[in-house]
Amino acid sequence: MKVLKFGGTSVANANNINLVKNIIANQQSENTIVVVSALGGITDLLLKSAALACTQDNAYKSALKEIEDRHLSTIKELIPIHSQSKMLSKVKTELNTLETLLEGAFLIGEITPKLSDKIVSYGELLSSYIISEHFIAEGIDAAYIDSRKLIKTNLAHGKTTVNFQLTNSNCVSILKNHDNKVLVMGGFIASSVSGDATTLGRGGSDYTAAIVANALDAELLQVWTDVSGMYTANPKIVKQARSIPHISYEEAMELSHFGAKVLYPPTIQPVLSKGIPIQIKNTFKPEEPGTLISKNKNGTGKTVRGISHVEEVALLSLEGSGMVGIPGISKRFFEVLSNAGISVVLITQASSEHSICVGISNQDTEKAVAIVNEAFDFEISRGRIKPVIAEKDLAIIALVGDNMKSHQGLSGKMFSTLGKNNVNIRAIAQGASERNISAVILKSDVKKALNSLHEVFFEENIKQLNLFVMGVGNVGAKFIAQIQQQKQYLKEKLMLNIRVIGMSNSRTMYFDEDGIPLKNWEALLASGPKADKARFYDTVMKLNYRNSIFVDNTASEEVSSTYPNYLKNSISVVTCNKIACSSQFSHYQELKDLARKYNAPFLFETNVGAGLPIIDTLKHLIASGDKVLKIQAVLSGSLNFVFNNFNDHTTFHDIVKKAQEEGYTEPDPKIDLSGIDVMRKILILARESGNILEIEDIENQSFLPQESLETTNNEDFFRTLKEHEESFQALYQQAVEEDSKLKYVAQFEDGKASVGLQRIPKGHDFYNLEGSDNIVLFYTERYPNQPMIIKGAGAGADVTASGIFADIIRIGNF
């Protein structure tokens, strides 16, 4: 004998009920008890109509109408026309009684728990009747059983307990009186010893099935639902969650107790005592294996088996010096809560006995505060205990697994993962069984917390990085193209799943919670709302994703001023924008400090030498104890391009124009030509080598005429270049005469930095520098005479984008 339970979604409509019938028809060789829920959503509608009626709101009638329509249309679709009328009239009679009950509640403007139970029981009464008739009509040897005659409860409406003695003997005798292969009954509903309708609590149909399985010594209890088993986390919140093939009773109980709704928590007890296995199966994918819950411990399985969570939790803290060493305070605290019917879901106590902290349901908060304060009125009035503190809108997340106790470091991993993602932990509890480690966090952090924990404990180290990209011009567009191209490779080889969740240019912005499809990002971005930096930031905050990275591909000061906000929320920042790192030293230092404090990398490799690994190399030198003595470098790809191409056959103006058109200069070419850009770069290298320096401390021997330096727009700037062609030609001639080449050199030595145009003689490391290449010579204590040299393309959108990409990957491996 088997007991099969089908939940609300499985019997929500005629179509689904037909699937259920097929499942039963395939099992017909065995005796089967089928326990069904109300048609999906009907219990909620019944409760809603009752709530409306008792507030004397006429809208209860439309809820009732919806209930009626759902049942009548299910019958019409499911049952052959010739058998319909008998059923329709029976169901209508029942619905009339329901209407009378609701009318009563409406007239009095009140509803008792007893009446509420009666009203809500109509859901399962009707569903079980309809389904049993459908089975019979389809030729299954089935009969209907009235659950209220079977399942008996000790009276206490709302929170009933099952009278197992009566229930078990009822089950045995009913079975004796039926020789049908299939018996269909409603879950959830029962009656008291004196005959009143009672219920087993929301989700209670699972429990009904377990009670019957226990009474009849069933060999198996199958719970058929809308997912393929008990998952590693709630599949609605964690997309990567997967069905757990095999789990112990204790683990399943712990997971369901902490919110895995797929199984109503009391369900396990009755089957556990008889060792009856539970199988959780998917009505819509019956071929999938689902989850088997049984006695077998999963000795070799994963240590952490699942992560569950309960929302709507509040924390109550009682503290005060008067609690230390006084016996009975905890007892009184728990007693008042228990007497008021408030259940405690989590307990922590400081070892100093200075405070006790418990988790309760959000909705009980006000009541709990009032009764606890009243109970400790005497101590509070004398200042020995503080009035109880309540914090609402929290949630509990729990890691569950039988083998967790024999593994070290799990809680460390749990809390560091939460910490890295800026999830604030309000309280911690670890059950004595060590089968569960729970943390109380803000409700608004649940999605992020579950997903980051799931990633760390279940996803074979695949790490998801969520990018928010500002600036998709030259560099940004190349960056997006590179992500698109490398996505699969990174996933397979580096276990990194990179998703672009948000992007913005100066016109519009666009977000997609599941990752923007990069194939047509241009069209999507153009379709988005107007760009707004504050709203962009707000959206990043609201989405609250784990491993979030803000990527700045702009040259905007306004954008760079938002970095602290991101870092303070543990969101990493990657930027090719030099403004922040070359601003006031105190600001640069603040960003570094924030990054350290909030565990969020702040990376800007592309600030110097585009994609060349200059800053990263420097960091490694310093970290390994080396000391920088001197830096000599050609750091402007654009100036290098200009002076490598400028000669007496060209004009300076045309070469600068060309450099701008080919994307080698900043949008404003004066920033490059005036030396500002190189100053910023040497400043950043000096700072990264451990020196405190401001941009004003750098000597700049500009080669530009004063008039060019004073222009305020690109047009005027280019005009002055034309006008001063002669002076540029003079620079060139002088270099030719000395058999040297013009290079714009940055230097740092003895705490002093300078930039300027130099004539580089043949044989010097800089002499053969081509195109837009950069070169850096690091003279250090380890490389005192022969410097460490880094050389290569130092400008251009493609290499800059790849440098940003490299920073993202550094964060992925962080």
Instruction: Name the residues that contact ligand ADP, by CB under 6 A.
Output: 7-10, 37, 203, 225-227, 230-231, 233-236, 260-262, 306, 308
Rounded distance between C-alpha atoms, residue 473 and residue 797, angstroms: 9
Confirm if 769 and 743 have CB atoms less than 8 A apart.
yes
Number of residues lying near Mg ion (CB under 5 A): 2
Our CB check for ligand ASP shows the closer of 189 and 671 to be 189
Confirm if 306 and 230 have CB atoms less than 8 A apart.
yes
Tell me the closest approach of the beta carbon of residue 138 to ligand ASP, in angstroms.
Answer: 23
Reduced 3-state DSSP string for 497-539? EEEEEEEECCCEEEECCCCCCHHHHHHHHHHCCECCHHHHHHH
| Out of 37, 451, 466, 689, the residue judged to bind ligand ASP by CB under 6 A | 37
- H-run or E-run covering 154: strand 152-154
Residue with tokens 């503290």: 319
Rounded distance between C-alpha atoms, residue 455 and residue 438, angstroms: 17
Do strands 788-793 and 699-701 pair parallel, antiparallel, or not at all (unpaired)? unpaired
Our CB check for Mg ion shows the closer of 11 and 501 to be 11
Q: Return the axis-axis angle of helices 60-78 and 81-108, rounded to nearest 10°.
A: 170
Tell me the closest approach of the beta carbon of residue 44 to ligand ASP, in angstroms.
Answer: 7
Nearest residue relative to ligand ADP (C-beta): 7
Tell me the closest approach of the beta carbon of residue 4 to ligand ADP, in angstroms.
Answer: 12
Rounded distance between C-alpha atoms, residue 683 and residue 696, angstroms: 10
Beta strands per DSSP E along 264-362: 278-282, 291-294, 306-319, 344-349, 355-361
Our CB check for ligand ADP shows the closer of 205 and 562 to be 205
Q: Return the axis-axis angle of helices 122-137 and 14-26, rounded to nearest 10°.
A: 60
Q: Count Cα neighbours of 701 within 13 Å in the Cβ-side half-sphere.
A: 11
Question: Between the CA of residue 595 and those of 303, 347, 360, 378, 534, what are the distances in Å?
Answer: 33, 34, 36, 48, 21
**Which tokens sit at 31?**
């005796």
Q: Is 674 helix (H, G, I), strand (E, B) or coil?
A: coil
227 binds, among Mg ion, ligand ADP, ligand ASP, none (CB under 5 to 8 A by kind): ligand ADP
Binding of ligand ASP by 266 (CB under 6 A): no
Residue with tokens 């089968």: 435
Task: Judge whether 681 counts as a catalytic residue.
Answer: yes
Our CB check for Mg ion shows the closer of 203 and 528 to be 203
Tell me the closest approach of the beta carbon of residue 569 to Mg ion, in angstroms.
Answer: 37
Binding mask 131-170 for ligand ASP (x = CB under 6 A): ----------------------------------------
Tell me the closest approach of the beta carbon of residue 446 to ligand ASP, in angstroms.
Answer: 22
Our CB check for ligand ASP shows the closer of 208 and 451 to be 208
794 binds, among ligand ADP, Mg ion, ligand ASP, none (CB under 5 to 8 A by kind): none
Tell me the closest approach of the beta carbon of residue 212 to ligand ADP, in angstroms.
Answer: 16
Measured between its terminal Cα atoms, the distance across the chain in Å is: 55
Tell me the closest approach of the beta carbon of residue 496 to ligand ASP, in angstroms.
Answer: 41
Binding of ligand ASP by 306 (CB under 6 A): no
Tell me the closest approach of the beta carbon of residue 523 to Mg ion, in angstroms.
Answer: 43
Our CB check for ligand ADP shows the closer of 190 and 760 to be 190
By CB under 6 A, the residues from 41 to 100 that bind ligand ASP are 43
Rounded distance between C-alpha atoms, residue 122 and residue 188, angstroms: 11
Q: Which has the closest alpha carbon to 754: 809, 698, 681, 684?
A: 698
Binding of ligand ASP by 38 (CB under 6 A): yes
Our CB check for ligand ADP shows the closer of 199 and 308 to be 308
Confirm if 5 and 35 have CB atoms less than 8 A apart.
yes
Do strands 32-36 and 602-603 pair parallel, antiparallel, or not at all (unpaired)? unpaired
Question: Between the CA of residue 810 and those of 494, 574, 681, 790, 804, what are the distances in Å?
Answer: 11, 10, 21, 20, 10
Tell me the closest approach of the beta carbon of residue 261 to ligand ASP, in angstroms.
Answer: 10
204 binds, among Mg ion, ligand ASP, ligand ADP, none (CB under 5 to 8 A by kind): ligand ASP
Our CB check for ligand ASP shows the closer of 45 and 496 to be 45
Reduced 3-state DSSP string for 157-215? CCCCEECHHHHHHHHHHHHHHCCCCEEEEECCEEEECCCCEEECCCCCHHHHHHHHHHH
Our CB check for ligand ADP shows the closer of 448 and 724 to be 448
Q: Which stretch binds Mg ion (CB under 5 A): 134-142, 195-203, 498-506, 777-785?
A: 195-203
Tell me the closest approach of the beta carbon of residue 225 to Mg ion, in angstroms.
Answer: 7
230 binds, among ligand ASP, ligand ADP, Mg ion, none (CB under 5 to 8 A by kind): ligand ADP
Nearest residue relative to Mg ion (C-beta): 203
- H-run or E-run covering 542: helix 533-543
38 binds, among ligand ADP, Mg ion, ligand ASP, none (CB under 5 to 8 A by kind): ligand ASP
Q: Is 630 helix (H, G, I), strand (E, B) or coil?
A: strand
129 binds, among ligand ADP, ligand ASP, Mg ion, none (CB under 5 to 8 A by kind): none
236 binds, among ligand ADP, Mg ion, ligand ASP, none (CB under 5 to 8 A by kind): ligand ADP
**Which tokens sit at 537?**
């930031």
Tell me the closest approach of the beta carbon of residue 44 to ligand ADP, in angstroms.
Answer: 11
By CB under 5 A, the residues from 1 to 30 that bind Mg ion are 7
Rounded distance between C-alpha atoms, residue 706 and residue 709, angstroms: 5
By CB under 6 A, the residues from 110 to 129 that bind ligand ASP are 123
Number of residues lying near ligand ASP (CB under 6 A): 13
Rounded distance between C-alpha atoms, residue 246 and residue 705, angstroms: 78
Tell me the closest approach of the beta carbon of residue 224 to ligand ADP, in angstroms.
Answer: 7
Our CB check for ligand ADP shows the closer of 13 and 482 to be 13
Our CB check for ligand ASP shows the closer of 187 and 476 to be 187
234 binds, among ligand ASP, ligand ADP, Mg ion, none (CB under 5 to 8 A by kind): ligand ADP
Q: Which stretch binds ligand ASP (CB under 6 A): 35-43, 138-146, 316-324, 793-801?
A: 35-43
Binding of ligand ASP by 7 (CB under 6 A): yes
Beta strands per DSSP E along 727-772: 740-749, 752-761
Our CB check for ligand ASP shows the closer of 203 and 270 to be 203
Rounded distance between C-alpha atoms, residue 501 and residue 811, angstroms: 17
By CB under 6 A, the residues from 179 to 218 that bind ligand ASP are 187-188, 202-206
Q: Which has the closest alpha carbon to 190: 115, 132, 129, 117?
A: 117
Rounded distance between C-alpha atoms, residue 741 and residue 268, angstroms: 84
Binding of Mg ion by 203 (CB under 5 A): yes
Tell me the closest approach of the beta carbon of residue 109 to ligand ASP, in angstroms.
Answer: 26
186 binds, among Mg ion, ligand ADP, ligand ASP, none (CB under 5 to 8 A by kind): none
Q: Which stretch binds ligand ASP (CB under 6 A): 36-44, 589-597, 667-675, 777-785?
A: 36-44
Buried b (16+ CB within 10 A) or exposed e, 210-230: bbbbbbbebebbbbbbbbbbb
**Residue of 448, 681, 741, 743 marked catalytic:** 681
Rounded distance between C-alpha atoms, residue 398 and residue 396, angstroms: 6
663 binds, among ligand ASP, Mg ion, ligand ADP, none (CB under 5 to 8 A by kind): none
Confirm if 498 and 487 have CB atoms less than 8 A apart.
yes
Q: Which stretch binds Mg ion (CB under 5 A): 202-210, 286-294, 487-495, 702-710?
A: 202-210
Which residues are catalytic, by number? 681
Interacting residues toward ligand ASP by CB under 6 A? 7-8, 37-38, 43, 123, 187-188, 202-206
Which residues contact Mg ion by CB under 5 A?
Answer: 7, 203
